[in-house]
Amino acid sequence: MKTRSNYWQLLPYIRPQWQTIVKGFIGILGYVLATLALLRYVRQFATVFGGGDLNAIALQLAIIAAVFLVRGFFQSVQDIYMAKAALRVAFHLRNKVYSHLQKLNLSYFETAKSGDLSYRLTEDVDRVGEVVHKLFHDFIPCVLQLVAIPIYMISLNWQLTLAIIIVAPLMGILIGWFGERLRRFSLKSQNRISDLSAILTEVVSGIRIVQAFAAENYETARFSREAERTMSAKYSVERLKAIQIPIVGFLEAVSALTLLFVGAAQIANDNLTVAEFFSYLTAAALLIDPIGHVTNNYNEFKQGEASVDRVFELLAVQPTVVEKPNALLLPPVSGKVEYSRVSFAYKPGEPVLKDISLLAQPGEAIALVGASGAGKTTFVNLLPRFYDATAGEIFIDGVDIRDVTLDSLRRQIGIVPQETMMFSGTIAQNIAFGQDSFDMEAVEKAASIANAHQFITQLSDGYHTWVGERGVNLSGGQRQRIAIARAVLLNPRILILDEATSALDSESEALVQEALERLMEGRTVFIIAHRLSTVRRCDRILVLERGQILESGTHEELLTLGHRYARFYAQQFSRSHEFKQ
């Protein structure tokens, strides 16, 4: 059970804004003092009101107008600084969540829904910001007024004040009761919207599959079911609010009527003058607004708590692959890679790699072949520490990869994936991905080596052509060559290549092959190979089966051996048009 609200976790984000908050508080203080001054001048005005001295009345009204002006000024000060502080809290929180997200492991993203994550980073963080804003800009000033104004009222006439506050505890209990329910309903509603947005993201990214399977109606029905759930969750929130507001309003009205009655009785008993009652009524009227705000704020805080929970839930997810506190920088390596009795399991008790040992010399190209699910991807994913081996060690140039910083390790390993992801930006920025500033000449050179220069220069804006979302569409072969250019520019000693399975047209294929060969030259390469031409060219071929190295040797050696690889070759490579020699 939750004992402490997650709101407390916002403190480290609020604290650095203290200077701005103090300025805002000066505004609040000025505002409350001006409100009290207003009550005083209303009382003075009430004494001259019935006297017929128009000059005196005009003077009092002018003073009241001036006090209003001053009060308005302080209100602006408070609004400006508190808004600034709250927006900055949301800004830092959002950045923190985003950078935290980047450090989480692949395993997290394999199960997380991207729509849900983006909702947490946008809507939820916004709502947290709004809550902080409400707290400083609305709640605290209102609470101050709710303290200051009643003190003034008590000093004027305590019997009257007592009449008002009799209903207050009842209201408090009611507000609390409603608030807790609102929080629960809101959490449900928020989760529903998140689910909805997850479906949307899923379908947008997989629209080709949806259309190819003619699953539009199925997806529309699924979305509609989810949307209906979202609607009823929201409806529960609104219905609760709709019940709460009139109940609280009724209690307010009862207090006002009681006040009128007790006021009349006090005047009849000569305990109160009419002017005092005038001022008293103004004070009571000034209380209505803050009471309403505090009620609403309380609801919003309860609703916001759901967002705070969701944001901090994400921040609480710990990466499983972590750097040692005293991790060293991996010095430039020559590219010797050693797997020493490495085992790995995604789920305990279900090993995917079993006791694998391997020594790759600098510059050696190693092809990994094997049936789908044999563990090839898992094997290469251990090297940049996307996952950590469950048992055994991996060394690069004799250094255990768990002893060095992730950054220095990953910078020395280039990866060319099967599907190249383009990020929104220019072609040049995509080639120099992850670098703030880069040398254009080097980018062009890398593109030339990757056989990409020519097609890039033919694009409308050359290297400055926008790609990624809402950018130009590149063909599969062009994307692969961009990925190769990325790796060339990084110039790592170690390379991981995941060969694309989909066939390219023969011209494109030849360009990619040539680019890959240039890229591989002089580097230690692990390549998940699907094409025979690649496999044959490698120094060593590892045949993986059920997480173990079944055979190892050159193409010729393995063919002569006549076991698994030879069968594999006969079954797959010889008959597949993709595996051209």
Ligand X SMILES: Nc1ncnc2c1ncn2[C@@H]1O[C@H](COP(=O)(O)OP(=O)(O)OP(=O)(O)O)[C@@H](O)[C@H]1O
Q: Which is nearer to ligand X, 27 or 375 (CB)?
A: 375
Stretch that binds ligand X, among 208-216, 232-240, 249-257, 376-384 (CB under 6 A): 376-384
Tell me whether strands 391-396 and 337-347 are parallel, antiparallel or unpaired.
antiparallel
Cβ 347 to ligand X, closest distance in Å? 6
Q: Which two tokens mark 232?
A: 């009823």
Q: How far apart are CA 354 and CA 205, in angstroms?
A: 35
Q: Which is nearer to ligand X, 47 or 107 (CB)?
A: 107
Among 372, 437, 473, 506, binds ligand X (CB under 6 A): 372
Q: How far apart are CA 362 and CA 359, in angstroms?
A: 10
Q: Is 351 in the site for ligand X (CB under 6 A)?
A: no
Cβ 228 to ligand X, closest distance in Å? 32
Q: Which is nearer to ligand X, 141 or 351 (CB)?
A: 351
500, 475 Cβ separation under 8 angstroms: no
Q: Is 377 in the site for ligand X (CB under 6 A)?
A: yes
Q: Which is nearer to ligand X, 377 or 405 (CB)?
A: 377
Cβ 138 to ligand X, closest distance in Å? 46
Q: Which is nearer to ligand X, 133 or 376 (CB)?
A: 376
- Rg value, the chain, Cα: 35
Q: Which is nearer to ligand X, 335 or 375 (CB)?
A: 375
Q: Can you name the residues that pair with 543 across neighbouring β-strands?
A: 369, 551
Cβ 484 to ligand X, closest distance in Å? 20
Cβ 321 to ligand X, closest distance in Å? 13
Q: Provide the sign of the torsion angle of the four alpha carbons 508, 512, 515, 517, taken in this order.
A: negative
Cβ 538 to ligand X, closest distance in Å? 17
For residue 56, the SS3 value is helix
Cβ 374 to ligand X, closest distance in Å? 4
**Helix intervals (H) in 50-157:** 54-103, 106-111, 114-119, 125-134, 140-156
Q: Kindly give, in sequence order, each residue whose CB lies less than 8 Å from that of residue 133, ignoring residues fewer than 6 positions away.
A: 82, 83, 86, 87
Cβ 377 to ligand X, closest distance in Å? 3
Q: Which is nearer to ligand X, 60 or 378 (CB)?
A: 378
398, 436 Cβ separation under 8 angstroms: no
Q: Kindly give, in sequence order, each residue whose CB lies less than 8 Å from that of residue 261, ignoring residues fewer than 6 positions away.
A: none
Task: Give residue 8's identity as a one-letter amino acid code.
Answer: W
Q: How far apart are CA 81 and CA 31, in angstroms?
A: 14
Total site size for ligand X, rule CB under 6 A: 12
Site for ligand X in 54-113 (CB under 6 A): 107, 110
Distances (CA, A) of 143 to 21, 148, 205, 298: 16, 9, 48, 12
Q: Provide the sign of the torsion angle of the four alpha carbons 543, 548, 551, 554, taken in this order.
A: positive
Stretch that binds ligand X, among 32-40, 63-71, 365-373, 569-577 (CB under 6 A): 365-373
Cβ 190 to ligand X, closest distance in Å? 28
Cβ 102 to ligand X, closest distance in Å? 18
Among 43, 94, 183, 376, binds ligand X (CB under 6 A): 376
Stretch that binds ligand X, among 180-188, 331-339, 369-377, 419-427 (CB under 6 A): 369-377
Among 156, 337, 352, 474, binds ligand X (CB under 6 A): 352
Among 176, 331, 373, 434, binds ligand X (CB under 6 A): 373
Among 346, 435, 439, 521, binds ligand X (CB under 6 A): 346
Stretch that binds ligand X, among 129-137, 370-378, 435-443, 471-479 (CB under 6 A): 370-378
Instruction: Work out the end-to-end distance of the chain between its first and last CA atoms, rounded to an integer number of angstroms.
Output: 64
Q: Which is nearer to ligand X, 233 or 543 (CB)?
A: 543
Site string for ligand X, 109-138 (x = CB under 6 A): -x----------------------------
For residue 530, the SS3 value is coil
Among 179, 290, 370, 492, binds ligand X (CB under 6 A): 370
Q: How far apart are CA 66 and CA 311, in angstroms?
A: 45
Please give the angle made by the CA atoms of 124, 127 and 130, to the nearest 5 degrees.
155
Burial of 221 (0-12, 13-18, 19+ CB in 10 A): exposed
Stretch that binds ligand X, among 357-365, 373-381, 409-417, 557-565 (CB under 6 A): 373-381
Burial of 422 (0-12, 13-18, 19+ CB in 10 A): buried
Q: Is 217 in the site for ligand X (CB under 6 A)?
A: no
Stretch that binds ligand X, among 327-335, 375-383, 455-463, 534-542 (CB under 6 A): 375-383
Cβ 575 to ligand X, closest distance in Å? 18
Site for ligand X in 268-327 (CB under 6 A): none
Distances (CA, A) of 142 to 72, 78, 128, 154: 15, 12, 20, 18
Distances (CA, A) of 89 to 22, 158, 304, 554: 15, 42, 15, 59
Among 374, 383, 516, 541, binds ligand X (CB under 6 A): 374
Cβ 227 to ligand X, closest distance in Å? 30
Q: How far apart are CA 249 and CA 368, in angstroms?
A: 73
Using the 8-state DSSP alphabet, how is residue 462 labeled?
G
Stretch that binds ligand X, among 323-331, 367-375, 465-473, 483-491 (CB under 6 A): 367-375
Q: How many of the other CB atoms lie within 10 Å of CB of 21?
A: 20
Return residues touching ligand X (CB under 6 A): 107, 110, 346, 352, 370, 372-378
